[in-house]
Amino acid sequence: MSAERLLAAGVAAAAEAVREGRVSARELVEVALARCGEDAHGALLHVDAEGARAAADAVAAARRAGGAPGALAGVPLAIKDNLCTRGVPTTAATRLLEGWVPPYDATVVARLREAGAVIVAKANLDELAMGSSSETSAFGPVRNPLDPSRVPGGSSGGSAAAVAAGMTPGALGSDTGGSVRQPAAFCGVVGLKPTYGRVSRRGLVAFASSFDVVGPIARTVRDTARLLGVMAGPDPEDATSADAPVEAYEAAAEEGVSTLRVGVLRASLDAAEPGVAARVVESLGRLVSAGATLVDVDLPHADRALSAYYLLAPAEASSNLARLDGMRFGPRASAPDLRGTHEATRAGFGAEVKRRILLGTYALRAGYRDQLYGRAQRVRTRVARDYEEAFARCHVVAGPTAPTVAFPLGAHAGDPMAMYQADLETLPASLAGLPALSVPAGAAEDGLPAGLQLVAPAFAERRLFAAGAVAHPT
C-alpha cells in the first residue's frame, strides 16, 4: 500500500506499516508535508518540515538498529498551537505570544515523540482556545474542509480540519467546554475529551485550569484509542494528573456492546435540528442491533450548564492570563511606566478574549463572588450528581454532540450568546470532568455531518471506545 493510502487508512495502519518495513517514516512524512503545504483552509499556523524530516529519519535509524519503533512509529501528527513544542513556535493564536518558542515539550507531546510520532505542524485555533468556531484566531479563521463557507467548530478547529482534510491522520486538541468534541462533530471525525486528570496538562497554555483537558482527534475510534494510550498516565510535573492505570483502550474498540445499557437524552434529541436528531437515532440503532439496550435518562440541571460555565471558565481565565504581561512572553508594547506597558501590551488581545477576561473579573469582584461564582460552582456540583444518578441506570449517556451542523462563517460573529449556544451539549460533561467521545453519525442538514456524543463515568474511557466503535464502524 502506498504512503498516500496508508495516511488515509489512519494512525494504526500507518504505524504498523512502518514497524513492518512496508513503508518508511520518511515517505509518510513527505506526503503529509506536501498536503500541509497545500493547506487552503487556514488549519495550520506553522509547518516544521526540517524537524519532521529529522524525526522521521530517527525512526528509520532506530528500526535499522533493531530498536522498538513505538506504537506511533513514523505517524505524522498535527498539534494544537496551545501545546508547547520545543524549538517550534507556540502562539495559542494570540499576538501576545507571537514569536515565542518554548524551551520544552508539553508532556503529551514528549510522549507522542517517544512513541515514534512525527510532529509535522502546529494547528490553528480560536485565540487562547476561547471560541466555538475557530474564527477568533489572531492569524485568520479556519474553514471547514467539507464546506469552506462553514466553520470547522472550535476551539480545536485547526486540528479537526487537518484530520478531515487528510493532512495528517491524527491530531491533538484541547477541550475546555467542548473544544475537541464539537469540531470533531462539525468536521466528521472522531474526538475524545478524556477524564479530567487522565492526561497531563503540563505545557498546555492555560485557559481554565479546572476544565482544560488535552484530547486526541482521528478518523477512527481505534486510532483515537491508540493516541490516548500513548498520552495517558500520571505526570509528576502536573499535580492535577491522576494516578490511574492506563488501560488497553485500543482493545476496547473490539469488545462489542452486548451488555451495554445506553442512556438516551431525549430532551437533547428534541432540541436538535431534525437531521441531526435523525442521524443520532440511527447511530443508536446500530448499538441496539449489536446487543445494547436503550433507556431514557435526564440531566435535570443541564439547562444551567451554559450559564455556570461562562462564569467559571472566564473567572479562571482572568487569573491565568495575568501572566501575559509582555514581560516574560511575546512582544511588549512601549509606554512610560509599568502600568502603561501592561495596558498597551494587553490591548493586543482579541475582542472575545477581552470579553471573557472582563466577565471573569466581574464574577470574582467583592460582593459578587458568592452570588455569581459561588452559585455557578454549586450548579457544577449538581450537574455532576445528575450524571451519577444517570449512571445508576446505564453505562454511558448518549445524545447529539452539537444541536446543529457546522454554521456559516460569520453567522454568529456579532452575537456571542448565539455562539455560546453551540456548546450546549458538550458543557455538562466538562462541568462534571467526565470523559466524552464524539463520533460521526452521518450526513444531516445541508449534507454536513452530525455527531453522536457518548459520556461515561470518570476513567471509563474503555466504555466509550467499545460503544463508539459500534456506533461508527470503520
Active-site hit among 80, 132, 241, 268: 80
Active-site hit among 133, 137, 155, 174: 155
For residue 173, list its beta bridge partners.
215
Q: Is 433 helix (H, G, I), strand (E, B) or coil?
A: coil
Name the residue with cell 514581560: 327
Name the residue with cell 506499516: 17
In the 8-state DSSP scheme, what is residue 387?
H
Give the pairing type, strands 190-193 and 213-218: antiparallel
Polymer length of the chain: 474
Residue 457: count other Cβ atoms within 10 Å of its Cβ.
18
179 counts as catalytic: yes
Nearest-5° angle of CA 86, CA 435, CA 383? 125
Q: How far apart are the first and last CA of the chain?
A: 18
E strands within 274-316? 293-297
Q: Contact at 8 Å (CB) between 233 and 203? A: no
Distance CA(216)–CA(227), nearest Å, equals 6
69 alpha-carbon distance from chain centroid: 26
Q: What are phi and psi of 460, to 5 degrees?
A: -110, 40
208 alpha-carbon distance from chain centroid: 14
- Listed in sequence order, the residues at least 6 apart from 56 whose beta carbon sits closer than 8 Å to its beta carbon are 24, 25, 26, 28, 29, 74, 118
E strands within 194-260? 213-218
How many helices and strands (H and E) does the chain possess? Answer: 18, 11
134 counts as catalytic: no
CA separation, residue 300 to residues 159, 297, 390, 406 (Å): 33, 10, 10, 27
80 counts as catalytic: yes
Distance CA(124)–CA(130), nearest Å, equals 12
For residue 262, list its beta bridge partners.
294, 396
DSSP for 149-194? TB---SSSHHHHHHHHTTS-SEEEEEESSSTTHHHHHHHTSEEEEP
> Among 456, 421, 457, 420, which Cα is nearest to 438's?
456
Active site residues: 80, 155, 179
